[in-house]
Amino acid sequence: MDGEVLTVSFLIVLGRVFDVSLGNLRILYMVQGQRLWTFCAGVLEVLIWIFCVSQVIKELDNMWYMGSYAVGFGLGSLLGMWVDDRLAVGSQMVRLFTREGELVADHLRERGHVVTSICGSGRDGPVDILMIQVRRKQVSALIDLACLIDFECYYVVDDVKKAARASKHLERPTAITQMFQKK
């Protein structure tokens, strides 16, 4: 294997890592309804992909290029998941099912969370369902707070695509991002 094959193989791996990671972010932004970021990530993703695939297609008999393409895809998927976890874009709805509803709700409210409580009925009797919308970065800390009061609480976490902006905890869109949002 000569230096050129090694260099091109490295560039293919690197390109695939970035384009697949951008693809993961593009999907995340699309689900969140962030059109500007979806557009930017999509354009950059395809430009990088065109470079990578053109290198492989030019020399279909070169196994190094094909292997590099595949390895870059796998690594890009892993990196994309890691970046998604670190960015934690958007909001999530945490539903806590607890028999200590009032105590857990008060504990969370004292720490600045907006909590809605609903009385429900579970397999073993009455339960309180607490609903709290938080940024994705805050979900683990919120669950930890709830478990301090009721370590047996059950929770479900869902992504929030769109919500009314009644809470001070929700981010407001900038003028630029408003251009790309649905009316």
Q: How do residues 124-150 score in pLDDT, each as one tens digit? A: 899 999 999 999 889 999 999 999 999
pLDDT of 114 reads 92
86: tokens are 């670190």
Where does the pLDDT of residue 166 fall: very low under 50, low under 70, confident under 90, or very high at 90 and above? Answer: low
Q: Tell me the fold of 91-160.
A: Alpha-Beta Plaits (3.30.70)
| List of residues 6+ apart from 4 with CB closer than 8 A | none
pLDDT of 179 reads 55
> Is the pLDDT reported for residue 173 higher than 80?
no
pTM over 0.75: no
Provide the mean pLDDT of the chain. 87
Amino acid at 163: A
For the chain, what are the domain ranges?
3-87, 91-160
140: tokens are 């683990």
Quick one: what percent of the chain has pLDDT higher than 70?
Answer: 89
Angle at 27 between CA 23 and CA 31, to 5 degrees: 170
